[in-house]
Structure 1
């Protein structure tokens, strides 16, 4: 996530459906900074020659070289620049130049193209799938079989399971809510493959689909965990302390009392631990960072898949006690953004390239007790809003990610009415 908007920051936003991209550049008054250092009146007058210039792969701020060469200056005026990779700007298309924030913020429109990768609108389902297809979950589980598995509270590090190295195998669940929403986990194989995988076994009902008993192939045991993109399902026998379960519903850490997950409704021996609240690791490598590289990408997949599953662009994120904390309203299918700082051309950081990244843009609103009670989208009066319940720590981390993204935007672009504007990365670079 980019750093907070500051002096010489810039932000570029490209939308797949828009012909022109939006560029924002912070242009501080160099005269105010250099007051007392300038020589005669001609230097002070020339200080106002700062210009924002766009080339094919860079954004520049300062007096153009061809002008500076013809000026008689007692000191060299600084020039700032940012090199942007993977994108091509078309300077001749620049239009609608505007100043905002007391002539501190420069805004304009221009045409931008990606090098060899056209911007194509995508559905939320495809975006979520593209994130997960970098390494298929089935492949991850297969490679992890026989490895050392660990699960601990991400807040205090307290261990949750006690298993011997190499004794646990992993299998993947079709979706995050599969164990909760299917009629019963034992019907999955029969209904999804039509008994084609093993007709003889199905015909004799040896898998228990007709008896109503859950077959051992379809739920975790002391030698197998089930994994989805957001949860790890663990059998009660593998947990160090069974007292982790409270009210037959919530899973709380015995070390810090943080919410870790829930108990599966139709099988109280299966515990679901959320990846944002627990650290699930294979051979000491955390699942979340290995699969998604950053917490922002993980939450992007989580939000997109949740909205897709509930067929809604609006999503209320609640803690496990049903308290609403956050409302998310998805906007464009995705954007390509680049943010960073213009560096002095004489500094060592000048040569560094800034990598643009795809992101999902959204409006969001953080609830307090009063706004949650009065907002129809939070109290259940608006039926068009999807609901998702996650551990409190997950809610707070998601809010933190969105706030950090808002802080990287120019001040006039951070809010729309009662909503903040934020984004979550879909990848580290295009």
Structure 2
């Protein structure tokens, strides 16, 4: 009698042993003994993975969790751009400074105290008072002069009164002389008294917003000391610095980036002009923007990168700057979507465009989909 062998448990055991090898793609093609053979790669599960060829496998669920967004590239002819260092400066037409003319002590101008930085003021508003400061000897001399003038004024007034009583017998010119002496003494006495008890008003020269307030009640200030600085909230001026020669007739406009990440935007600037005098071996270029709230976008003195647009054009692929990242070799790369769940790092050459975008001139083709959000997260996958 022949015994039948049950092969079902044996087959199951074989699958269990060979399962890991199947999942990891450990099978080689025929002819694996030659040097150019390729191994079949099977992606395990739904976890992000850096594959042996350098590409990244990223499932759809992981793409949604990481917020990965892609954009199709479109070729365009755009103005050539130069990136220059710059800083925000005051608009001299609508900005102003308030400085002390005399040495003294700061006093508040109203019941609400001194205005704080960021407050809105109108032209002609009194921002503070400066009480003159003088030494003991100077005040003593002024007090003595004041007493002398008071005595002289009393004598002149009594003399004028007597002459008016004798108006019928006294020449008219004597009365006029006495009246002139009284008026002169009154003026001199008022000037001396004002010097002892008067104060200087710090008045707003223009309407706007206080960009800086360096005043504190009781503070002692010197002549020409800056107390307040005002700007127009609707005016922005930027000074770019060019260390290399630039054809000024080719400068068309400029932009400066404001914000970070997805909130970043480019503020357009119009070219005002450039002085014909170097400053610290560099040529300053002045740009401006007049729009609602433009002056509040960047504080005075803020260093910025100015993207100066020239009239000449260059062909390329515009791309958000957030798409650029660096690989382990410190090369600038972008991640190209080659398949629904496959991404490839591609080295590129680019030029600055407007502070928010760059112009890719080499390494990509029109129509390819590039990661514009989440590129740095994909680069971290190992």
TM-score by length of 2: 0.23
RCO higher in structure (CA 8 A, sep ≥6): 2
Q: Which has the higher strand share?
A: 2
Q: Which has the larger radius of gyration?
A: 2
